[in-house]
Amino acid sequence: MANEVADHDEEARAIVAAGFARWQQLIANGLRRMQDNGKLKPDADADHLAIGLIAALQGGYLLTQTTRDMKPMEVALDMALSQIKTHLIE
């Protein structure tokens, strides 16, 4: 839907963008809580990791819908989560 309205309806685009921003903020806040609890390295960029996770989810969803195959979603999420795992404190 975001792609359909982005170039044609500024109000709808802004609403969709605000939804993505809220989603990103919630994920980033969760990652920051992990930092506060000593589970995620202090130098991990919570905002970038959250954007990457959302991008993987959206891209995986689009490819999964298009191909009618779950593999793109699995691969996209595995890659995004693997990136986050590199910042975990063992």
Domain 2-85 sits in which CATH superfamily?
Tetracycline Repressor, domain 2 (1.10.357.10)
| Other CB atoms within 10 Å distance of the CB of residue 77 | 16
Q: What is the dihedral of CA 59, 65, 67, 71, to 10 degrees?
A: 60
What is the structure's pLDDT at 1?
Answer: 66
Q: How far apart are CA 25 and CA 46, in angstroms?
A: 9
Q: How far is CA 17 from CA 12, 20, 55, in A?
A: 9, 5, 13
Q: Delimit the domains of the chain by residue range.
A: 2-85
**What are the pLDDT tens digits along the chain (90 aa)?**
677 777 888 898 899 999 999 999 999 999 999 999 999 999 999 999 999 999 999 999 999 999 999 999 999 999 999 999 999 998
pLDDT at 23: 97
pLDDT value of residue 37: 98
